[in-house]
Amino acid sequence: MALSNRARRSRAASDPMMRFFAQVSSADRPDGVDLTFGNPHEMALPGLVEAIRAQVEPQTVDWFAYQNSRPEAQEAVAEGLRDELGLDFEPADIAMTQGAFGAIELAFAALTDAGDEVVIPLPGWFCYAPMLRATDLVPVEAPLDPETFDLDVEAIARAITPRTRIVVVNSPANPTGRVYPKSTWDALAEVLDTASAAHGRRIWLLSDEPYRRIRFDGIGFASPAGSYAWTLIDYSYGKVLLAPGQRLGYLAISPLAPAAERAELRESLGPLQLAIGWGWPDSIMQRAVPALEHVSIDMTELTRRRDRVYDALTGAGYTITRPEGTFYLWGRAPGGDGDAFFRALVERGVTVFPGAQFDQPHHFRITLTATMEMLERAIPHFVELARPAG
């Protein structure tokens, strides 16, 4: 057969998700309520369309010429990060990428060699493992606290081996909606410093922050880039704009990184982006960044949806992790059988994300990007399924 071993291993890691995708597509029905993915269910944000429209008509002969990271995009991102994180980012610390996927791929290419281990959270995003396998890396899962889904710094410490090169963290967290405080990052930094010294090799932190701007109740945000110098941040505009089909994101080097490493990465990320498949966003999207920095989904409305669903489900007896960020809601299936619950909902035309896809068979994930009308249609089904029949 044709496939390489690494492609086979990657496919094995993504097969459960791919089978689920196919199952969801075939279950699709006109009156159905799709609560699976972070995809838009309403027309695109006017600010997004306007920002794109403003860049379509060429103003110069090189409008659609080869693009590396465009300076106006790097400047807008660095300024935004300075404001949000209170760290002294400079434009040269920013590599514009094709979404967070592209930024994660770039971080792996820059820092890892074949056979290296990368620690990822459990439950966590289901694409880390296939991405790691495709580039000959070994995913090592570190469980979050099974009740609170707090980051378990000791579990990360136990997951680290002499082959560990990167630890991936994700806050606000998919699927749990948890946001971790600075004290967690300070504790993690200590663990990583100790382990790096013990193994004689620097462990890097990849902070996966696509939901950074999607937070509730005025909760603050701390990036581990402020606690641990050897941190790269990946970001995607696909969440806050709810437009994952227009690829735009970045990889940012922590300004706290030691000068030598910071300089090495600044000058190496560009050549690497070329080498991993010309990993820069399209010209139109990069030119739109200064405008897009100020566009967002309606957080008031998203909060209203979260409150409505959270209150309805907890009122019906569900155990739900109250989301502090993201547009997900993470709950425990009635009776503890996430797959049976998933199937019972599908029969009623409601599709959620089964926890088994996150190796958490007792749980389910709801995506709040659905409209309030869709959520209202779904709620009675959740309420009815909360009570065992008979």
R_g of the chain, CA atoms, integer Å? 21
SS (H, E, C) 231-296: EEEEEECCCCCCCCCCCCEEEEECCCCCHHHHHHHHHHHHHHHHHCCCCCCCHHHHHCHHHHCCCC
Token digits of residue 30? 């006109």
| Least CB distance to a second copy at residue 315 (A) | 30
- The residue type of 318 is Y
Grouping H, G, I as helix, E, B as strand and the rest as coil, residue 125 is coil
Tell me which stretch binds a second copy (CB under 8 A): 75-83, 134-142, 211-219, 351-359: 134-142
Site for a second copy in 226-255 (CB under 8 A): 230, 241-247
Token digits of residue 64? 């659609």
Neighbour tally for 378: CB within 10 Å: 24
Calpha distance 379→313 (Å, rounded): 8
Binding flags for a second copy, 283-322, as an x/- string (CB under 8 A): xxx-------------------------------------
Tell me which stretch binds a second copy (CB under 8 A): 40-48, 83-91, 215-223, 335-343: 40-48
Under rule CB under 8 A, residue 141 binds a second copy: no
Under rule CB under 8 A, residue 168 binds a second copy: no
Cβ proximity to a second copy, 232 vs 366, nearer residue: 232
Under rule CB under 8 A, residue 6 binds a second copy: yes
| Least CB distance to a second copy at residue 347 (A) | 25
Tell me which stretch binds a second copy (CB under 8 A): 131-139, 145-153, 169-177, 330-338: 131-139
Tell me which stretch binds a second copy (CB under 8 A): 11-19, 169-177, 293-301, 329-337: 11-19
Calpha distance 33→17 (Å, rounded): 20
Applying CB under 8 A, which of residues 39, 196, 303, 319 lies at the interface with a second copy?
39
Site for a second copy in 270-289 (CB under 8 A): 270-272, 274-279, 282-285
The closest of 365, 372, 358 to 332, measured between CA atoms, is: 365
| Least CB distance to a second copy at residue 353 (A) | 14
Asked if 112 and 106 touch (Cβ cutoff 8 Å), the reply is: no
Applying CB under 8 A, which of residues 75, 136, 337, 376 lies at the interface with a second copy?
136
Residues in contact with a second copy, counted by CB under 8 A, come to a total of 83
Tell me which stretch binds a second copy (CB under 8 A): 62-70, 73-81, 209-217, 299-307: 62-70
Interior/surface letters 236-246, b for 16+ CB within 10 angstroms, e for the rest? bbbbbbbbbeb
Under rule CB under 8 A, residue 111 binds a second copy: yes
Task: Read off φ and ψ for residue 385, nearest 5 degrees.
Answer: -75, -10
